[in-house]
């Protein structure tokens, strides 16, 4: 057995302990460096991975945005293969502007057909249009129902209008005449009923007598005479035939005549008279005829009446200082408004 001195043991133990400490320190430093390097590598790896993910996500987002409209349009198209059709209708490319015929109305906008129907309805509901349509209906009612029996009494039919353009007229006032229109038989009777006097004391004058309808309707009342004035030769001939052929059993006035002349050239009779105007001529000619009547009245005051159907110049009569307008009763006023296709004004002389 070898004996080691105590001093030698102490001296050898210290270096051994110091070596162990250094080894541990070196190992710690190495581990720390390794951890640091590993952390750095992990951080770099995470950064690279995050960058790649961001780039990939951006790339996917870009593709999605470029493909989304095409997919949406395709998804909205019906399946024509499933329905048995061979080809699908042409599609408008993305970004292209559809033609007006192919464009669909936007939500909230009415289709053109609905807009046109609404405009037409609005036009027909205007007060003036409603009045016009109602009066057209009344004219058909008189023509096809109320006037039928009386119309059968005329030898030459009087119910059809006649334009002056195709007639023979030798007058300087040809351009101021209006086309022939027949007066409604019932309406004529209503106008005469407003004159509460003995008609046998009056002469009836029809300006623009046409085919003689109003003239012969007046002959059914007890006038002292009935005269018509017409400037179109063909219409005058029809009036003459109707006067000759009208049933005498219905004529309470047999003194009936129609003259071929211009109304401006014919003066009123000297006695009491009723002057009938169914809008036969323009305002200018009416002013001349009215002046003849007014001048005759002032030279010899007497009872005169003016009956204006569909009047155009009542202001001239009001300004004459000779005539006052006859007011209808409430009942008569309602009857005119409900059943007359034309406005009517009746004037009486002041004498």
- For residue 294, the enclosing domain spans 147-349
pLDDT digits (tens, 9 = 90+) for 40-68: 544 545 555 455 555 655 565 555 455 54
CATH number for the domain including 242?
3.40.50.150
Classify residue 7: in a domain, yes or no. no
pLDDT over 70, % of the chain: 66
Exposure string for 72-107, b = 16+ CB within 10 A, e = fewer: eeeeeeeeeeeeeeeeeeeeeeeeeeeeeeeeeeee
- Note the pLDDT of residue 129: 86
User: What is the structure's pLDDT at 8?
Assistant: 45
Q: Decide which of 250 and 103 is more confident.
A: 250
DSSP string spanning 52-113? Answer: HHHHHHHHHHHHHHHHHHHHHHHHHS--HHHHT-SSPPP-PPTTPPPPTTTPPPPTTPPPHH
- The reply to whether 15 falls in a domain is no
Mean pLDDT of 131-157: 95
Token pair 């043991």 in the structure block, residue: 9
* Across 177-201, average pLDDT: 96
Q: Are residues 349 and 303 in contact, defined by beta-carbon separation less than 8 angstroms?
A: yes
Q: CA 321: distance to chain centroid?
A: 42
DSSP state of 234: H
- Helix (H) or strand (E) holding 275, with range, is strand 273-277
| Residue 76 to residue 70: CA distance in whole angstroms | 10
Residue 163 belongs to some domain of the structure: yes
Asked whether residue 279 is assigned to any structural domain, the reply reads yes
Tell how strand 256-260 and strand 225-230 pair up.
Answer: parallel
DSSP H or E stretch at residue 201: none
Query: Is residue 207 included in any domain, yes or no?
Result: yes
* Nearby residues of 73 by Cβ (< 8 Å), 6 or more positions away: 91, 94
Cα 18 from Cα 255, distance rounded (Å):
166
Measured CA distances, 119 to 108, 112, 115, 125, 159 (Å): 18, 10, 6, 10, 35
338 in a structural domain: yes
Q: Is residue 218 part of a domain?
A: yes
The yes-or-no verdict on residue 139 having pLDDT over 90 is: yes
* Residue 75 structure tokens: 């998804």
Q: Is residue 98 part of a domain?
A: no
Q: What is the pTM of this model?
A: 0.66
The per-residue pLDDT for 342 is: 96
pLDDT value at residue 126: 79
pLDDT at 56: 57
DSSP letter for 266, please. -
- Which pLDDT belongs to residue 123? 66
Query: What is d(CA 77, CA 84) in angstroms, rounded to the nearest whole number?
Result: 15
Q: Is there a contact between 340 and 187 (Cβ–Cβ < 8 Å)?
A: yes
Give residues with Cβ within 8 angstroms of 207, minimum separation 6: 229, 263, 275, 276, 277, 280, 281, 289
Distance between CA 186 and CA 340 in Å, rounded? 9
Give the whole-angstrom CA distance, residue 200 versus residue 266: 22
Helix H or strand E encompassing 349: strand 344-349
What is the C-alpha separation between 73 and 52, in angstroms, rounded?
Answer: 32
CA 204 – CA 220 distance, rounded (Å): 12
Distances (CA, A) of 338 to 57, 148, 222: 82, 20, 29
Q: What is the pLDDT of residues 217-238, one digit of tens each?
A: 999 999 999 999 999 999 999 9
The strand pair at 344-349 and 323-325 is best described as antiparallel
Work out how many domains the chain is built from and give that number: 1
Alpha helices in 142-246 (DSSP H): 148-151, 185-193, 213-219, 233-245
Q: Give residue 93's pLDDT.
A: 52
């Amino acid at each position: 057995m070898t004996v080691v001195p105590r001093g030698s043991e102490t001296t050898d133990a210290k270096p051994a302990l110091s070596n162990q400490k250094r080894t541990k320190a070196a190992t710690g430093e190495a581990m720390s460096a390794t951890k640091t390097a590993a952390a750095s590598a992990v951080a770099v790896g995470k950064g690279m991975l995050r960058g790649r993910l961001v780039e990939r996500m951006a790339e996917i987002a870009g593709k999605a945005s470029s493909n989304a409209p095409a997919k949406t349009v395709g998804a909205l198209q019906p399946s024509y293969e499933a329905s048995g059709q061979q080809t699908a209708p042409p599609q408008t490319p993305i970004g292209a502007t559809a033609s007006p015929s192919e464009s669909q109305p936007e939500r909230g906008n009415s289709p053109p057909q609905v807009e046109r129907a609404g405009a037409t309805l609005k036009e027909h509901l205007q007060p003036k249009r409603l009045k016009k349509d109602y009066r057209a209906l009344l004219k058909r009612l008189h023509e096809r129902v109320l006037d039928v029996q009386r119309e059968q009494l005329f030898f030459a039919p009087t119910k059809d209008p006649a334009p002056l353009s195709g007639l023979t007229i030798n007058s300087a006032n040809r351009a101021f005449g209006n086309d022939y229109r027949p007066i409604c038989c019932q309406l004529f009777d209503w106008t005469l009923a407003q004159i509460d006097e003995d008609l046998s004391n009056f002469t009836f004058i029809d300006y623009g007598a046409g085919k003689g309808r109003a003239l012969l309707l007046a002959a059914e009342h007890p006038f002292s005479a009935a005269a018509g004035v017409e400037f179109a030769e063909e219409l005058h001939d029809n009036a003459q035939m109707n006067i000759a052929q009208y049933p005498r059993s219905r004529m309470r006035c047999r003194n009936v005549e129609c003259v071929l002349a211009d109304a401006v050239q014919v003066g009123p009779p000297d006695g009491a008279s009723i002057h009938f105007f169914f809008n036969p001529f323009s305002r200018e000619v009416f002013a001349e005829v009215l002046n003849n009547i007014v001048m005759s009245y002032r030279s010899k005051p007497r009872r005169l009446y003016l009956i204006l159907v569909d009047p155009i110049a009542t202001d001239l009569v009001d300004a004459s200082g000779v005539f006052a307008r006859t007011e209808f009763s409430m009942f008569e006023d309602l009857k005119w408004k409900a059943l007359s296709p034309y406005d009517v004004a009746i004037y009486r002389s002041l004498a």
